[in-house]
Amino acid sequence: MELRAWRVTLELAETFRISREAQDRAEVVQVELRHGHLAGYGEAAPVERYGQSAGSALAYLKEAATLLGDDPWALEEIHARLPDREPAARAAIDAALHDLCGKLASVPVYRLLGLRRAGPPTSWTIGLGDPDEMARKAERQAGRFRRLKLKLGGRDGLDVERVRAVRRVTALPLRVDVNEYWSLEEALDFLPQLARLGVEYCEQPLPAGHPAGAELKRRSPLPIYLDEDCHVLADVAACAKIGHGIVIKLAKSGGLREALRMAAAARALGLGVMVGCMVESGLGIAPAAHMASACDYVDLDGNLLLARDPCPGLELVDGVQLPPLAPGLGVAPA
């Protein structure tokens, strides 16, 4: 199999702010994997928080290209040969392999995985901002989405007011994501107030590895979902001690195979499962959309945050990100 990779800059429709950063664009890397007359595609969304970039992903892919062999069905063997770093780049290879296998078998990837096409509705993410600004954004999306996710962690004493302001303008189910920016004291103060406002769950209130995780799980009136604390299968057991659910992202897990193992491990430990994303094109979101029916909660809006999605194909139907019916991922670079 022959691998080709290139860099793509994605422009966001508006600045996207979370606790640790603000973003106007995202650099991703797309790959093409050729096997005979067929081509499989995938996208890497490198995570800066973990020292990755488009440059480091491209360097990894150059090295990985020599290790792929010629059998796209040898998914486990290929993963075993790939060096265990740059998970976003590995996820792009994994996506391209699944795309190829689906095309070879003439079935969409969700069928290849034994899953249903439609998962739960995706949330729409509202970036961190003033309470009024967040409420206005919530109002604007009222008809289009069935769940909202609010970014919190402003460290300005206004996080509960942000949720209250949004709650005033919508009855939609709300989730919040703190991206590691609360202390234990803040979490214990804010979470009961958010529970009274009907918030469903809270993503990553404490910094990853915080020693009070188990105490917060015991005392929190809201389910805690772990994102920055949970990357791969080996992290899931420890997450059962400090949370009620895990957030799977392909850019952290290195692809669909590890993601589905994580979901199974989470179930065995009594944990809920959410699938999330980075700022990605439709090509990056597609593999996650194909596995969404294995999850309880879905946050796959990365391509919808873009000014223009260079890889259309996913359909937003009644708030659900539906993967195409075509063989493979059904989404390709334009």
Compare residues 245 and 254 and give the one whose CB is closer to Mg ion. Answer: 245
Least Å distance, CB 151 to Mg ion, is 9
Least Å distance, CB 256 to Mg ion, is 19
SS (H, E, C) the chain: CEEEEEEEEEEEEEEEECCCCEEEEEEEEEEEEEECCEEEEEEECCCHHHCCCHHHHHHHHHHHHHHCCCCCCCHHHHHHHCCCCCHHHHHHHHHHHHHHHHHHHCCEHHHHCCCCCCCCCEEEEECCCCHHHHHHHHHHCCCCCCEEEEECCCCCCCHHHHHHHHHHHCCCCEEEECCCCCCHHHHHHHHHHHHHCCEEEEECCCCCCCCCHHHHHHHCCCCEEECCCCCCHHHHHHHHHHCCEEEECHHHHCCHHHHHHHHHHHHHCCCEEEECCCCCCHHHHHHHHHCHHHCCEECCCHHHHECCCCCCCCEEECCEEECCCCCECCCCCC
Site for Mg ion contains 177 (CB under 5 A): yes
Site for Mg ion contains 299 (CB under 5 A): no
Least Å distance, CB 123 to Mg ion, is 11
Instruction: Count residues binding Mg ion (CB under 5 A).
Output: 3
Least Å distance, CB 70 to Mg ion, is 38
Dihedral in degrees, nearest 10, Cα atoms 152, 155, 158, 160: 50
Which residue(s) pair with 316 in the sheet?
A: 321
Least Å distance, CB 326 to Mg ion, is 30
The window from 122-130, 183-191, 222-230, 324-332 that contacts Mg ion (CB under 5 A) reads 222-230
State the Cα–Cα distance between residues 174 and 293, nearest whole angstrom.
Answer: 20
Residues 186-205, interacting with Mg ion (CB under 5 A): 203
Compare residues 227 and 258 and give the one whose CB is closer to Mg ion. Answer: 227
Compare residues 135 and 274 and give the one whose CB is closer to Mg ion. Answer: 274
Least Å distance, CB 126 to Mg ion, is 13
Bridge-based pairing of strands 22-35 and 38-44 is antiparallel
Compare residues 99 and 299 and give the one whose CB is closer to Mg ion. Answer: 299
Compare residues 86 and 227 and give the one whose CB is closer to Mg ion. Answer: 227
The window from 93-101, 172-180, 257-265, 317-325 that contacts Mg ion (CB under 5 A) reads 172-180
Compare residues 153 and 330 and give the one whose CB is closer to Mg ion. Answer: 153
Least Å distance, CB 159 to Mg ion, is 15
The window from 66-74, 174-182, 255-263, 316-324 that contacts Mg ion (CB under 5 A) reads 174-182
Q: Measured between alpha carbons, how far is residue 79 from residues 14, 84, 260, 274 in Å?
A: 36, 9, 14, 24
Least Å distance, CB 12 to Mg ion, is 17
The window from 175-183, 193-201, 255-263, 265-273 that contacts Mg ion (CB under 5 A) reads 175-183
Residues 266-295, interacting with Mg ion (CB under 5 A): none
Compare residues 177 and 229 and give the one whose CB is closer to Mg ion. Answer: 177
Compare residues 41 and 181 and give the one whose CB is closer to Mg ion. Answer: 181
Q: Which of 43, 159, 227, 301 binds Mg ion (CB under 5 A)?
A: 227
Least Å distance, CB 307 to Mg ion, is 22
CB 181 within 8 A of CB 152: yes
Compare residues 227 and 301 and give the one whose CB is closer to Mg ion. Answer: 227
Site residues for Mg ion per CB under 5 A: 177, 203, 227
